[in-house]
Structure 1
């Protein structure tokens, strides 16, 4: 039986649309839809062709922030996501759009949360907000401790959170 705090955590995750893996008791809702990844823009944005065909939909992986494509680690992040998802049928969970019109989603491939995988590999940050370290903070802590990807000690410059990079340098596009 769930405690009151566990039940409230699950309800909060569902209402906010946060990745269900943030709580081990939460289970993802039924997929809103599935489709085939037809293009990988960068480490957190892909285009998914719906099962009925038609124009691919631009989606942004919710809960992560990958390096900008012109930022250190940006190409590696995009390339890894491309190797993982391009041409694959994925499940897409999401209802809300960002300021650029992209659908904010959780993407799973064969049941694996892609956002969680990207952060665990050191290919993206857990998306931080005011008081939160983000849904994948533990995966980020482990990737940093292991020196993976953007957290590798071999980088000439320390990793810069993408929002800070955009503020200093603008968008790469």
Structure 2
């Protein structure tokens, strides 16, 4: 009996760990910074942290430019949000598509965000986008010594 119960409990736990919320469409009603937006689905607002990227902090070089870039691609537009998980601040971490473009990959490709190595799982194509941005000295890569946001936050 105990084995049966343990097996059932493990199955339920594995289902909870692998659960992924369904994609949804929502209007982008706010841009907090280059990697965080607010969407409204007609019922409620949700703060979304874009998966696998880290944009410069507002007080950091290119921070305001990153926020403006995110605004240019997403603000006021309908977005498809594909939730992945939640972060330690209870924000939904998701892939976001605005006007048919992967907003996270677009931000990296145009030099407004880094690939966030620590959380890149499943987004390895972002490295190719970052390589192009770096080679073409786009956005933050114009700086001779750009500081990654995770290093900037430590200072």
Q: TM-score range by the shorter chain?
A: 0.7 to 0.9
Deviations 1:70-105 (A, max 9, x none): 000000000111121110000000141101111000
Q: What is the distance in 2 between the residues matched to 1:148 and 1:97? A: 30
Is the helix fraction higher in 1 or 2? 2
Unaligned runs of 5+ in 2: 1-17
Instruction: Tell me which residue corresponds to 1:12.
Output: none
Bigger relative contact order (CA 8 A; separation at least 6): 2
More strand by share: 2
| TM-score for the superposition, normalised by structure 2 | 0.80
User: How far apart are the structure 1 equivalents of 2:128 and 2:103?
Assistant: 15
| Pair 1:85 & 2:78 matched | no
In the alignment, the residues of structure 2 paired with residue 38 and residue 130 of structure 1 have an alpha-carbon distance, to the nearest angstrom, of 25
Higher radius of gyration, 1 or 2: 2
Corresponding residue to 1:40 among 5, 18, 31: 31
Query: What's the CA shift for 1:110?
Result: 3.0
Kept after mapping to 2: 8 A contact 1:31/1:91: no
Instruction: State the match for 2:139 in structure 1.
Output: 149
Contact 2:33/2:57, CA 8 A, preserved across alignment: yes
Number of aligned residue pairs? 136
Match of 2:86 in 1: 97
Unaligned runs of 5+ in 1: 1-14, 18-29, 169-173
TM-score by length of 1: 0.72
| Offset of residue 32 of structure 1 | 1.4
Where 1:37 maps in the other structure, the secondary structure is: strand
Indicate yes or no: 2:65 matched with 1:73: no
